[in-house]
Structure 1
Amino acid sequence: MVVNTFGIWIIYKNKKWAEKTREYFMCFAAGVLISSPLIMAFPEAVEKNPHAGFAAISGFLFMYFSNKVIKYKTKQTELAFGITAIEGIGIHSFLDGIIYTVTFNVSAMTGVLTGIGLVVHEFAEGIITFSVLLKGGLNAKKAAFYAFLVAALTTPLGAFLAYPLVSKFSNSALGLALGFVAGVLIYVSASHLLPEMREYEKKHSYISFLLGIALSFFIMFSGN
């Protein structure tokens, strides 16, 4: 939560720069959120539960219909974009907290090794969430506050809620949860961030996209 909040604070203090460069952050976010579920979450989900693909489809469809409802309720495309994106990030952050608890329950070393990879992406996730909320039309103060609630606070919340139940978690159940989150993140990237990247492409923005993918690979190898 602290690392995530630090990322939000850094970009809040430099909000003019953030507004000028948010397209690059969108590209970076697209790279992270399309690659991390494909190379980490989904393969691990299938390893734990061979039916995780059904959970991934469920996560994708959940976000698809959520977006339809949000667009209908808000009547504002930009605001709907922001709400749908942070919904996906919030679900992902909440499960991060559960993963911390599960892995440390296995052993301290497993928890530390997994935690290295998870903590690395928290800083970027805070920045991404703030940028998405700015894109959704919120002012900087509200964007920072809601980014904290959605991206930072949900991780310890997930950990504390999971703690009393963690001994009852099976690999099969965790596999389905990971599959669901993979579908959620793929939807956010493929249906929201990648189209934004193409529409507002700037010079060298593809480098931001590749850096996002590179971060996912770094997290994968550091987590192993």
Structure 2
Amino acid sequence: MPGGRCVIVLAVAATTFVSTLLGGLVALRAGPRVGTIIALGAGVRVGAAFFDLGPEAAKEMGSVESAMVFAALGFLVFYLLERVTLIHVGHEAGMPVDRHEHVGTLGAGGMSVHSFMDGLAIGAAFHAGTELGLLIAVVVILHDFSDGIGTVSVLLANGAPRSTALRWLLVDAAAPVVGALAAFAIRIEGAALGALLGLFMGFFLYVAGAELLPEAHRKEQGWVVLAATFVGALFIYGATQVLAI
């Protein structure tokens, strides 16, 4: 990977760190529009999956069908991992929310795993090209703000002290940095890169549909959440069209 792209990756990694911290600080101040922010993050993930990761995966693999197979695999594998490891951070309808600190710790750990995978997605995207890398970086940076909110919120909601919430916030903020640098250090190209991008397409769709949107509607009611989701997806579509010029 060229040296200039290396500098960009490092700058992006630093920005994800700051974005997560800012989101956590907003949660500590109980921001009134948390649901809208989370919905926006869901929208940009959906947009990135369909308008960017999917097409790029198909291009690298030379087959739309193969790319979609890996996207489905990514969705299902992450669903399985969450069920097995119990790192699901959303609250299903009808389930009681237990106020126990260990529940909050599991939730924060799950958010950190998500963030690490986001970092891997950034690194993999930059292997495919600077334009794709920057677009996925924007998606992750926007989402990391809501990730910071989620990490702090799930801990405070389950009785953890603010000091514990701040420590986990730092872990969550560092996770995408570690992931991006790890993926950056490994040379990936061709069909292997396409398969990886397909997997991250599935991962993005799972997080948006199974994690973020239910949480957004739980925190905030009304049409604003729906509108924010559409705005996020359309923003990514517009960005892909601008970058294609």
* Bin of the TM-score, shorter chain as denominator length: 0.7 to 0.9
Q: Deviations over 1:60-94 (max 9, x none)?
A: 11111111112299997766555445434422321
Alignment partner, residue 210 of structure 1: 230
Specify which of 151, 174, 185 is matched with residue 193 of structure 2.
174
The alignment status of 1:117 with 2:135, answered yes or no, reads: yes
Q: TM-score, normalised by structure 1?
A: 0.77
Question: Using the alignment, how far apart are the partners of 2:121 and 2:141 within structure 1?
Answer: 17
Alignment of 1:1-224 (within 5 A): 1-17=13-29, 19-49=31-61, 50=63, 51-71=66-86, 83-103=109-129, 111=130, 113-137=131-155, 139=162, 140-159=165-184, 161-162=185-186, 166=187, 169-203=188-222, 204-224=224-244
User: Residues 31 and 69 of structure 1: is their aligned pair in 2 closer, same or farther, counting only changes over 3 Å?
Assistant: same
Q: Deviations over 1:4-37 (max 9, x none)?
A: 1221233344444454332222211211222210
Question: Using the alignment, how far apart are the partners of 1:142 and 1:67 within structure 2?
Answer: 23
User: Residues 119 and 192 of structure 1: is their aligned pair in 2 closer, same or farther, counting only changes over 3 Å?
Assistant: closer
User: Residues 222 and 116 of structure 1: is their aligned pair in 2 closer, same or farther, counting only changes over 3 Å?
Assistant: farther
Give 1:42 deviation, angstroms: 1.2
Question: Using the alignment, how far apart are the partners of 2:136 and 2:152 within structure 1?
Answer: 25
Name stretches of at least 5 consecutive residues in structure 2 with no aligned partner: 1-12, 90-97, 157-161
Q: TM-score, normalised by structure 2?
A: 0.72
When structure 1 is superposed on structure 2, of 183-192 and 9-18 the one drifting more is: 9-18
User: Residues 57 and 78 of structure 1: is their aligned pair in 2 closer, same or farther, counting only changes over 3 Å?
Assistant: farther
Q: Is the 8 A contact 1:86 1:132 kept in 2?
A: no
Question: Using the alignment, how far apart are the partners of 2:68 and 2:128 within structure 1?
Answer: 21
Q: Is the 8 A contact 2:20 2:144 kept in 1?
A: yes
Question: Using the alignment, how far apart are the partners of 1:73 and 1:28 within structure 2?
Answer: 20
Give 1:176 deviation, angstroms: 0.6
Letter in 1 for 2:216: M
What RMSD in Å do the two structures reach over aligned CA positions? 3.0
Q: Deviations over 1:104-134 (max 9, x none)?
A: xxxxxxx3x4444244334313202212212
Name stretches of at least 5 consecutive residues in structure 1 with no aligned partner: 104-110
User: Residues 129 and 73 of structure 1: is their aligned pair in 2 closer, same or farther, counting only changes over 3 Å?
Assistant: closer
Give the aligned length.
Answer: 210
User: Residues 217 and 5 of structure 1: is their aligned pair in 2 closer, same or farther, counting only changes over 3 Å?
Assistant: same
Q: Is the 8 A contact 2:34 2:219 kept in 1?
A: no
Letter in 2 for 1:62: V
Q: Is the 8 A contact 1:67 1:80 kept in 2?
A: no
Q: Identity percentage over the alignment?
A: 16
Q: Is the 8 A contact 2:24 2:151 kept in 1?
A: no
The structure carrying a bigger helix percent of its residues is 1
Q: Deviations over 1:167-221 (max 9, x none)?
A: xx44211111111111111111111222223333334223322332233224423
Query: Per the alignment, in what secondary structure is the counterpart of residue 136 of structure 1?
Result: helix
